[in-house]
């Protein structure tokens, strides 16, 4: 038995929780796809709080795709000294170059165009469309994998769960028709603060009544 029939209750609870517990970050609610793009590259495998100073410095120095495309790679890499994973400097520059050349420096707002850009996968693509352009697209990252695997007892047959089309289908099903921007931010915060990787806060979790992991729904 699955608990998919509880999706409306679950989304409502998550949104209600978010209204009181949202985290504030400088890349949220900017409606600027460029800032969303930069933040998502910086957030790869790095804690959000750690990314803030680097994000602010990069945005100040390179306020547009075209300026990032023209950046000196060694200078750009210096901004990564605090957060590591220097390959992301190349990634930022290469993606910006492609957008600059093929899309006149404007981040595409069509999914098929975004996915043509080397280095933009499904997660970053949908984040830009949802957070940057306000369109209704679901997101799936490691946090969402963890939350939905537990909450909905989702079991993947794929090696790489993050790319499992069935999980993306589930995420689309769960995404509300309205308030989807808040909802996508909410599941990221909920997974980070409540449904944590090592120590999920099940006793205080507002979803514990519906959770497959806790109630052993299979």
Residue 217 interacts with ligand SF4 (CB under 6 A)?
Answer: no
Q: Which of 35, 88, 93, 150 binds ligand SF4 (CB under 6 A)?
A: 150
Q: What 3-state DSSP class applies to 206?
A: coil
Check 9, 24, 40, 112 and give the catalytic one.
Answer: 40
Residue 211 interacts with ligand SF4 (CB under 6 A)?
Answer: yes
Rounded CA-CA distance 24/29 in Å is 10
Q: Which of 22, 77, 200, 218 binds ligand SF4 (CB under 6 A)?
A: 200
Give the interface segment with ligand SF4, choosing from 6-14, 49-57, 154-162, 200-208 (CB under 6 A): 200-208
Q: Are 17 and 206 in contact (CB under 8 A)?
A: yes
Q: Which of 10, 13, 140, 194 binds ligand SF4 (CB under 6 A)?
A: 194
**Active-site residue 112, yes or no?**
no
Nearer to ligand SF4, 144 or 194 (CB): 194
For residue 65, the tally of other CB atoms under 10 A from its CB is 24
Residue 170 interacts with ligand SF4 (CB under 6 A)?
Answer: no
Give the interface segment with ligand SF4, choosing from 18-26, 163-171, 173-181, 193-201 (CB under 6 A): 193-201
For residue 205, the tally of other CB atoms under 10 A from its CB is 20
For residue 80, the tally of other CB atoms under 10 A from its CB is 18
Q: Which of 19, 21, 142, 201 binds ligand SF4 (CB under 6 A)?
A: 201
Give the interface segment with ligand SF4, choosing from 32-40, 92-100, 114-122, 204-212 (CB under 6 A): 204-212
Pick the closest to residue 30 from 63, 61, 53, 54 (CA basis). Answer: 63
Q: Which two tokens stand for residue 208?
A: 């514990």
Pick the closest to residue 4 from 134, 170, 127 (CA basis). Answer: 170
3-state DSSP helix/strand/coil percent for the chain, to nearest 5? 60, 0, 40
Q: Which of 44, 156, 182, 208 binds ligand SF4 (CB under 6 A)?
A: 208
Q: Are 101 and 111 in contact (CB under 8 A)?
A: no
- Residues marked active site are found at 40
Contacts to ligand SF4 by CB under 6 A: 150-151, 194-195, 200-202, 205, 207-208, 211, 213-214
């Amino acid at each position: 038995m699955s608990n998919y029939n509880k999706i409306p209750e679950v989304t409502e609870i998550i949104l209600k929780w978010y209204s009181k517990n949202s985290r504030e970050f400088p890349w949220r609610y900017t409606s600027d796809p460029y800032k969303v793009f930069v933040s998502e590259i910086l957030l790869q495998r790095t804690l959000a709080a750690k990314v803030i100073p680097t994000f602010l410095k990069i945005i100040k120095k390179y306020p547009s795709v075209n300026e990032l495309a023209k950046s000196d790679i060694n200078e750009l890499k210096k901004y990564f000294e605090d957060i590591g994973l220097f390959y992301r400097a190349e990634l930022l520059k290469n993606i910006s170059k492609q957008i600059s050349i093929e899309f006149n420096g404007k981040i595409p707002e069509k999914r098929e165009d975004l996915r043509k850009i080397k280095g933009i996968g499904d997660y970053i693509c949908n984040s830009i469309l949802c957070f940057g352009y306000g369109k209704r697209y679901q997101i799936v990252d490691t946090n969402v994998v963890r939350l939905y695997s537990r909450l909905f007892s989702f079991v993947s047959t794929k090696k790489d769960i993050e790319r499992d089309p069935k999980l993306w289908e589930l995420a689309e099903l769960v995404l509300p028709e309205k308030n989807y921007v808040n909802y996508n931010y909410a599941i990221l915060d909920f997974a980070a603060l409540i449904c944590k990787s090592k120590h999920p806060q099940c006793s205080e979790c507002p979803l514990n009544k519906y959770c497959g992991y806790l109630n052993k729904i299979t």
